[in-house]
Amino acid sequence: MIELNEGARWGRMDVAAGYVSPVFQNQFRLSHVRWGRDIQIADSEILAVNAHTEEDGSGALSRVAIRWYDHETMVIAQTVIRQAWQKHKQTFLLVNESVENGHPGLLAIPQLDRPVEGPVETEEYEDFDDAQWSSVY
């Protein structure tokens, strides 16, 4: 659990993905594709771990608080994630993850841009005056 959350916190999705069940890999990759690129993780903390959620001890649940910001808005947000784990050999693998509380954007799967059909028209700016932008710089 710690390895997955630390890897994800530092943008090491290759490390984190090693602790994800094969059946949940695609969903995990889609919901974390923006981490380390568009989303920066400021801090994360494992709030609780409940091992032995199943009679045979093969399941576990964890709650993780994550403080993060989107590079586009630069506004800090907090999200609490609920993670479900399943025992596999000598470790646990993530089998599900959902937002329990806080900002839902952390695990939001981005919309795929539709391909542009036909030629793209560009506008010419012959009369563009740089002076109007001087106050921006």
Pairing verdict, β 76-88 and 39-51 = unpaired
Domain ranges of the chain: 2-107
Domain covering 2-107: architecture: Roll (3.10)
User: Residues 6 or more apart from 25 whose CB is under 8 A from it?
Assistant: 17
pLDDT at 13: 87
Tell me if residue 5 falls in helix, strand or coil.
helix
In tens digits, the chain (137 residues) has pLDDT values of: 889 999 888 888 889 999 999 999 999 999 999 998 899 999 999 999 998 766 676 889 999 999 999 988 899 999 999 999 998 888 899 999 999 999 999 999 887 665 555 554 544 445 545 454 444 43
Helical spans, DSSP H, in the chain: 2-9, 13-17, 25-31
CB atoms closer than 10 angstroms to residue 66: 24
